[in-house]
């Protein structure tokens, strides 16, 4: 993998983390009214669709709600949960990615992850998993901690694009976020 592509992939993943964490700091009032959000995401351009799991709100560049600053620059969807506070998912795409680059990125994550520079970094796992409504898409999963936050990145190539879903929650809530938001999302993804 050439140095430019490595830089692009690393930048893509780290940007997703920074945006995800900063968007969560927007402050949520327990009594604030929540806007109606779409219950289905469907992108013809990305050839990806999914129905929102129960209690999950979908924000997009067309309907960003308070997450306007978290969407753009390749970030195409932001999800949060009414059931699990301080848990969210942001997804980003980059053009011209290959399966070979994904395998090379796995090697980087196993030996010298760029995230290791983050304060409190602790790697939990790096592995290939299958995702999707039909469990037919291979994806690279990277789970790690930074200070108080657990992050699960799921990266895959679809239609020549690299897609990264960065799932974030407080460490103490990760189990609930995994059950209520993360697993249901990845089991609902539809690929065309």
Can you tell me the distance from the alpha carbon of 128 to that of 142, in angstroms, rounded to the nearest whole number? 9
Lowest mean pLDDT segment, chosen from 10-14, 85-89, 102-106, 155-159: 10-14
**Domain CATH for 119:** 3.40.1000.10
pLDDT(46) > 80: yes
What secondary structure does DSSP assign to 110-123, as a single string? HH--GGGGSTT-EE
Can you tell me the distance from the alpha carbon of 24 to that of 47, in angstroms, rounded to the nearest whole number? 28
- Count up the domains in the chain and report the number: 1
108 domain-assigned: yes
Owning domain of residue 162: 3-25+53-185
79 domain-assigned: yes
pLDDT at residue 47, rounded to an integer: 96
45 domain-assigned: no
43 domain-assigned: no
186 burial via Cβ count (<10 Å: 0-12, 13-18, 19+): buried
For residue 25, what is the DSSP state?
Answer: T
Banded pLDDT at 72 (limits 50, 70, 90): confident
């Amino acid at each position: 993998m050439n140095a430019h592509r490595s830089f692009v992939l690393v930048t893509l993943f780290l940007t997703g983390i920074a945006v995800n964490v900063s968007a969560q700091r927007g402050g949520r009032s327990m009594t604030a009214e929540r806007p109606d959000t779409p219950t289905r995401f469907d992108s013809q351009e990305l050839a990806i669709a999914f129905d929102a799991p129960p209690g999950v709100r979908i924000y997009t560049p067309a309907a960003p709600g308070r997450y306007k600053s978290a969407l753009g620059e390749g970030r195409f969807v932001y999800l949060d949960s009414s059931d699990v506070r301080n848990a969210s998912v942001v997804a980003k795409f980059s053009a011209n990615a290959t399966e070979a680059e994904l395998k090379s990125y796995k090697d980087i994550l196993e030996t010298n992850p760029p995230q290791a520079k983050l304060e409190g970094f602790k790697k939990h796992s790096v592995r290939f998993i299958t995702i999707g409504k039909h469990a037919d898409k291979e994806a690279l999963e990277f789970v790690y901690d930074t200070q108080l936050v657990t992050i699960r990145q799921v990266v895959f190539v679809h239609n020549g694009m690299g897609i990264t879903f960065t799932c974030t929650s407080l460490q103490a809530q990760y189990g609930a976020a995994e059950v209520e938001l993360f697993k249901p999302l990845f089991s609902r993804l539809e690929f065309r």
